[in-house]
Amino acid sequence: MRQLDLLAVELGDPQTHCRTRPQENAAVDSRSHRDTAQLALESHLDALRERLSDLKRIGGSPAADADTRLQLARTLVNLGRGAEAWPLGRESFNYFLSADDFESAADACDVLFQAEQPDSTCALGQGIWLAVTCPIDPELSIELLGHVIDETPQDADGAAVAASTALFLADVRAQGKHREDLMFFSTQTLGQVARQHSGVETPEQLDRWMDRLGLKEPEQFLVRLRQVVDVLVRDDWWFDREALQDRLPFA
């Protein structure tokens, strides 16, 4: 119908053929931008594959190999080729975890989730567990929790639990301007979740809502987050959690 409507306008207005249509120009510009971005990603992919071959040839370090594989996986995900990205991201995850590089392991989980494969939600659960348990960049932790917020139905409590955890991590892990920015972002996210979940609009309503859902005390909402993670992982853990906790710096 939209095409027919456009045809009717053109037939009714002889001047239409003499004018430049902004919508068409915008569509052409958008396609051109997508094509340019696609070519840039494919070029980056070729460069990463060449780098991986060089690392194999010269006997590069396992860390460099894992990092390159993760970059390859991320680029493939951005190209919409999640099935190809999955084994690369999974290999990287295994290496980073064995090397106690928990931040990179959580980052690999983020890539694996975005690959949209059968076990992607399981990967997200592993990544969130690492993000909350290990002392990693709070920005990455908040990004992982953001996937739960985005994917949870508005009337379910999972998004509220994830948003409260994100605000908590921003508060206790970040510092300086970084903390201010993450606290502001996380506070806005929590307010948005509250509006979608229960129609919360005022600070007083927010306070009552947080009380009702047990979102004020970490010992309450972190227990509920553990339940969310269990649902995501479905008892398919890729590592021994107790053994990993024993290796942490503060263990």
In angstroms, the Cα distances linking 165 to 95, 113, 192 are 28, 19, 15
Side-chain-side CA neighbours of 90 within 13 Å: the count stands at 13
- Residue 130 CB partners (closer than 8 Å, separation 6+): 102, 105, 106, 109, 136
**Cβ proximity of 67 and 92 under 8 Å:** yes
What's the pLDDT score for residue 239? Answer: 96
Q: What pLDDT is attached to residue 149?
A: 95
25: helix, strand or coil: helix
DSSP string, 38-65: HHHHHHHHHHHHHHHHHHHHHT--HHHH
Q: Per-residue confidence of the chain (251 residues) as pLDDT tens digits?
A: 333 232 223 323 334 333 445 555 555 566 776 788 888 989 989 999 999 899 988 988 999 999 999 999 999 999 999 999 999 999 999 999 999 999 999 999 999 999 999 999 999 999 999 999 998 999 999 999 999 999 998 888 999 999 999 999 999 999 999 999 999 999 999 999 999 999 999 999 999 999 999 999 999 999 999 999 999 999 999 999 999 998 887 54
Give Dmax (Cα) for the chain.
78
Two tokens at 170? Answer: 């921003």
Q: What is the DSSP letter of 116?
A: T
Single-letter amino acid, residue 72: L
| 137, two tokens | 């960049």
pLDDT for 155: 83
* Burial label, 164 (beta-carbon count in 10 A; 0-12, 13-18, 19+): buried
Residue pair 110/98 in contact (Cβ under 8 Å)? The answer is no
